[in-house]
Structure 1
Amino acid sequence: MSLKSIALGLLAGVAVLVAPSVRADDEQAGMTAEQFIQSLDFRHGTITVGQAKAHFNLDDQFLYLDQADARRVLEDMWGNPPDESVLGLIVPRSPALTDDDSWAVVVTYSDDGYVSDEDASKIDYSELLQTMQEEIRDGNPERVKAGYGSLDLVGWAVPPRYDAGSKKMYWARELAFNDQDHHTLNYDIRVLGRGGYLSLNAVAGMNSLDTVRAGMERLLPMTEFDAGARYADHNPSTDKIAAYGVASLIGGGLAAKAGLFAKLGLVLAKFWKLLLVGLVLLGGGLKKVFGGKDKPTVR
């Protein structure tokens, strides 16, 4: 099965099948892949994310696109619907954005408030996985009836781990859409701060697990909140407190709001943001659309 077929199967599990092509507006019509990539403002080094009061100290393995260019890639290049919650995109220098095995990390921020980590040491991740699997399976008849296809959580691709010292949690899930043989990797990082948490999310094929895992582990220590916005800066008498704890972050906060993956609408809303990056698997199709390779410019 081709990577394009895998990606089409992936998108069958969500709401809309979107073609990965540049929008036909005057500015971008007729662009080659190289022209489009060259038009992006890739940054490196210390990156400030003002909306989240956070920053990245990127090494020479990563590049960064600010909100506007990140959305151009996600929406114009990969065909995703508009999403104002996207703050940026972290892109490995290799593979290139238009390569078949490319991947990228979507940066978002939740301002739900200070997330207590008091329950972190008590989480039974095996039990949590089983609960999530059951909830997803129970919701499949409704998803299929609604035309979204089936979704199954195969298991942990990387078991959840919470570092109490750095206030960072990471995990990866192996997902199957419509009983396809080729499964999808969903790799997440959550960084806790004073007023909420920073989310870093990457999606790829399971065959890219080693590459994505190495990249995300490398990225983990490069992500920090600014002074005054760190978890340790929390003021219990004035700060907003999130209505859920660390365990709920693995479900994107769904556990606290609607039951773990229980309601179709919320499932799609959450997974839509998490999984649309899977369109990157259509890189081979992009080459046909744009007709060229990319060599990012960096400033």
Structure 2
Amino acid sequence: MGITRIFVLFAVLAVSPVKSAIAQPLVEDTEVSAAAEMTDEERYLAWAQQTWDGMERKGGVIDLPGSVASIDVPEDFYYLAPEDTKIVLEQIWGNPESEHLTLGMLFPAHTTPFDPDSWGVTIDYSEEGYIRDDDASEIDYGDLLQDMQASTREESRQREEMGYEAIELVGWAEAPFYDAEEKKLYWAQEIAFGGMDTNTLNYNIRVLGRKGVLVLNFIAGMSQLEEINQNREAVLSMASFNPGYRYDEFDPDVDTVAAYGLGGLVAGKVLAKTGFFAAALVLLKKFWVLIPLAIGGLFRAFRRK
């Protein structure tokens, strides 16, 4: 199909300045008529093309909002700013509106947010204090998982009482791993939502800093676990704290120490303020494809334009 722009197509009339005032109502009528004749699919694709064209895809070294951290985006990824990320999460992927703005989002260069098989990485920062990592070798992640599953069952009961679907923490999709030298932690959970045929992947990366933690979450499906693992190291290497905010610059005389260690970080305390299950629902909603998969291939026509 090639790179195709699908817009509302109007007749372009060559009109002299003298006739323009008379011709204007005719042009407007033509525009309204053309728009009315478009199918729902054509209207959606026109909106999708316009939305995609309006997004600024960035690469290279980017100072994130707040100037606490930066990301170095290679050529095989692109970065979307917070405002464009909000459009992706709410308007394209159908999540509820939120006043919260992320620090942006990463996508593989060969995909757009409109592709049914796309995935992305949201970026956030939580100033929870300096997280000590001296308990790293002592954590029993098997026991921690059991505690988290028990908490999830209780949360699920509360959700069902409120009329929402049940939720289950199935287990680790990727067991927690901590890089003590780089001060980076990752783990992944498999989550099942009632009424869904496929489970959700909740894949997390945390970068420890002097005053808080960078929060990077992959938004993907369980079927994409292998692809995510293949790209994990690339994403891990992109994010770093700016001078003055790095982990090794901690000053015990002036800086706050978090009330928990790495185990508490994995258990989700950093997400408590925004809600772990709200974050999980973002992952789920991404796969409630709001457009027929039959037109999914058409999105590739304007991919990475």
TM-score class, shorter: 0.7 to 0.9
- Structure 2: distance between partners of 1:230 and 1:195: 8
Q: Which has the higher contact order (CA 8 A, sep 6+)?
A: 1
Please report how far the alpha carbon of residue 274 of structure 1 lies from its aligned counterpart in structure 2 after TM superposition: 4.1
| Residue of structure 2 aligned with 1:34, choices 41, 49, 52 | 49
- Asked if structure 1 preserves the Cα contact closer than 8 Å seen for 2:159 and 2:165, the reply is yes
Please tell me whether residue 79 in structure 1 is matched to residue 74 in structure 2.
no
Cross-structure match for 1:25: none
- Structure 1: distance between partners of 2:290 and 2:228: 19
- Asked if structure 1 preserves the Cα contact closer than 8 Å seen for 2:88 and 2:113, the reply is no
- Asked if structure 1 preserves the Cα contact closer than 8 Å seen for 2:92 and 2:114, the reply is no
- Asked if structure 1 preserves the Cα contact closer than 8 Å seen for 2:72 and 2:239, the reply is yes
Please tell me whether residue 113 in structure 1 is matched to residue 129 in structure 2.
yes
Please report how far the alpha carbon of residue 215 of structure 1 lies from its aligned counterpart in structure 2 after TM superposition: 1.8
- Counterpart residue type for residue 39 of structure 1: G
Please tell me whether residue 102 in structure 1 is matched to residue 102 in structure 2.
no
Question: Normalization by structure 1: what TM-score?
Answer: 0.79
- Structure 1: distance between partners of 2:58 and 2:219: 22
Please tell me whether residue 296 in structure 1 is matched to residue 295 in structure 2.
no
Please tell me whether residue 65 in structure 1 is matched to residue 71 in structure 2.
no
Provide structure 1 residue ranges, at least 5 long, that are not aligned to the other structure. 1-27, 258-265
- Asked if structure 2 preserves the Cα contact closer than 8 Å seen for 1:97 and 1:283, the reply is no
Cross-structure match for 2:291: 285
- Structure 2: distance between partners of 1:249 and 1:168: 12
Please report how far the alpha carbon of residue 29 of structure 1 lies from its aligned counterpart in structure 2 after TM superposition: 9.2
Distance change in 2, residues 1:286/1:212 (3 Å): farther
- Counterpart residue type for residue 159 of structure 1: A
Question: Normalization by structure 2: what TM-score?
Answer: 0.78
| Residue of structure 1 aligned with 2:190, choices 174, 186, 189 | 174
- Structure 1: distance between partners of 2:196 and 2:288: 17
Please report how far the alpha carbon of residue 176 of structure 1 lies from its aligned counterpart in structure 2 after TM superposition: 0.6
- Structure 1: distance between partners of 2:172 and 2:240: 25
- Asked if structure 2 preserves the Cα contact closer than 8 Å seen for 1:202 and 1:274, the reply is no
Distance change in 2, residues 1:207/1:29 (3 Å): closer
Provide structure 2 residue ranges, at least 5 long, that are not aligned to the other structure. 1-42
Distance change in 2, residues 1:278/1:52 (3 Å): farther
Distance change in 2, residues 1:241/1:271 (3 Å): same
Please report how far the alpha carbon of residue 283 of structure 1 lies from its aligned counterpart in structure 2 after TM superposition: 4.8
Please tell me whether residue 159 in structure 1 is matched to residue 167 in structure 2.
no
SS at match of 2:113: coil
Equivalent runs, 1:196-211 vs 2, <5 Å: 196-211=212-227
- Using the aligned pairs only, state the percent identity: 37
- Structure 2: distance between partners of 1:275 and 1:92: 22
Could you list the per-position Cα deviations for residues 126-158 of structure 1 after superposition, in whole angstroms to 9, with x for gaps in the alignment?
A: 110111112212333222111122111111101
Considering only aligned residues, what root-mean-square deviation do their CA atoms show, in Å? Answer: 2.6
| Residue of structure 2 aligned with 1:276, choices 279, 282, 285 | 282
- Structure 2: distance between partners of 1:285 and 1:29: 9
Please report how far the alpha carbon of residue 32 of structure 1 lies from its aligned counterpart in structure 2 after TM superposition: 2.7
SS at match of 2:115: coil
Q: Which structure has the greater CA radius of gyration?
A: 2
| Residue of structure 1 aligned with 2:61, choices 46, 52, 55 | 46
SS at match of 1:161: strand
Please report how far the alpha carbon of residue 213 of structure 1 lies from its aligned counterpart in structure 2 after TM superposition: 1.9
- Structure 2: distance between partners of 1:77 and 1:152: 26
- Asked if structure 2 preserves the Cα contact closer than 8 Å seen for 1:32 and 1:292, the reply is no
Cross-structure match for 2:5: none
Please tell me whether residue 56 in structure 1 is matched to residue 62 in structure 2.
no
Cross-structure match for 2:149: 133
- Structure 1: distance between partners of 2:80 and 2:72: 14
